[in-house]
Amino acid sequence: KNESSNFICCSKKINVFTINRERSNIHTNVILHIKGTRVLNQRTPDTEFLKKVLTDIDGLASLANNEAISNETTEDVFFDMFKEEGKEVINIQKFLFALRAAGIRDTDPRLGDFMTRLKDYHRESGTEGGSPETQQVNRKVFREYV
């Protein structure tokens, strides 16, 4: 079954058809060669990843089938995606950069509480210089502030 997917190409949106969406692992979609343009690969998350990220109104994992509910929260999934290699800390600047790349602006009201808490944490930590965005925080702090 062929399905249409959207790709960003030189600031223009184009449709590209992909094949075999039912693969179980994260994979790179088939990309058609477009003469003279650069097309960015879009990765499609697998079903297990989506089960960990998508939650219902109560914060419980929404599962299409009747499998056990995952104990991993959305915050944990984000932390694991952006944590520093070999360390149990996340670089806030990299996390915010990823949000900006996804189209979420610093002025977005959804980030208001997070940014306020981040500034408070920076002030409480007594770190001289730098900014709240240049901090590295552990999983516990990240969960509290996100």
Q: pLDDT digits over 38-48, tens only?
A: 444 445 556 66
Q: What confidence tens digit (pLDDT) does each residue in 51-109 have?
A: 555 555 555 555 444 444 456 788 888 888 888 888 899 988 888 888 888 888 888 88
Q: What is the pLDDT of residue 53?
A: 57
Q: Is the pLDDT of residue 5 over 80?
A: no
C-alpha torsion angle, residues 96, 102, 107, 108 (rounded to 10): -110
Q: Does this model's pTM top 0.75?
A: no
Q: What is the CA radius of gyration of the chain?
A: 19
> Which tops the pLDDT comparison, 55 or 130?
130
Q: Which residues pair with 8 in a beta bridge?
A: 13
Highest mean pLDDT among 2-6, 33-37, 42-46, 47-51: 47-51
Domain locations in the chain as residue ranges: 1-44, 46-73, 83-146
CB 95 within 8 A of CB 114: no
Give the separation between CA 82 and CA 105, rounded to whole angstroms: 18
Q: Which of 81, 86, 93 is nearest to 137 (CA)?
A: 93
Instruction: Output the six-digit token pair for 19.
Output: 């094949």
Tell me, what amino acid is at 126? G
Q: Which amino acid is at 53?
A: V
